[in-house]
Amino acid sequence: MAVLGHLPSRLLATSPEAYHWLSDPDTAMLSCVIPMVWAGMGPGCLIYLAALKGIPDDFYEAADVDGATFCDKILFVVFPMLKPLVMINFAGAFIGSFYAATGNILVMTGGSANTEVAGLHIWYKAFTFLKFGPATAAAWMLGVILIGFTVQQLKMLSRVEFRSNR
């Protein structure tokens, strides 16, 4: 929220001083997350586009006949059809954010301003302080914490089948 608070003054350039988004603990984490989400949007869009194309037109027509509005169609046709994809993507993003975010945060803040995530902590332990033992142990623990999500993701995956669109 602090980001939203500072955004207008920057966009309208009312204050001459540059605002240090990445060094203020209030805004640093969100400032790290937004670019990552934004960068992941491209591939995500492709997948969702493919999934949307896979929804037969008949469904929409039937909904039209039943008098559904735009929002109704999104809620009761599109979302149920995409639900497996959404769930799988959610689990994937959840697990991925624990690992993939490490590199980006390392580049952006280096873990300062309250942004030292678990992966970064392990990275520092292993490659900066060269304590491989504790680092590996911490990495295992992280894996164990996430194993539940992995199993859940696997279960979901085993319930669906994959199709590619032509």
Binding site for other proteins (CB under 8 A): 38, 41-42, 46-47, 50-51, 54, 57, 60-61, 64, 70, 73-74, 78, 83-85, 88, 95, 98-99, 119, 122-123, 126, 132, 135-136, 139-140, 142-143, 146-147, 150-151, 153-154, 157-166
In Å, how far are 22, 44, 85 from 47, measured between CA atoms? 31, 5, 9
Q: Return the number of the residue (14 or 58) whose C-beta is nearest other proteins.
A: 58
CB 31 within 8 A of CB 108: yes
Please report how close the Cβ of residue 101 comes to other proteins at its closest, in angstroms. 12
* 3-class DSSP assignment, residue 25: helix
Please report how close the Cβ of residue 138 comes to other proteins at its closest, in angstroms. 9
Computed over its alpha carbons, how large is the radius of gyration of the chain?
21
- Chain centroid offset of residue 129 CA: 29
Please report how close the Cβ of residue 96 comes to other proteins at its closest, in angstroms. 10
Rounded to 5°, angle at Cα 119 from 113 and 125: 85
Please report how close the Cβ of residue 149 comes to other proteins at its closest, in angstroms. 8
Q: Return the number of the residue (69 or 112) whose C-beta is nearest other proteins.
A: 69
How many Cβ atoms from other residues are within 10 Å of residue 150's Cβ? Answer: 13
Q: Return the number of the residue (25 or 140) whose C-beta is nearest other proteins.
A: 140
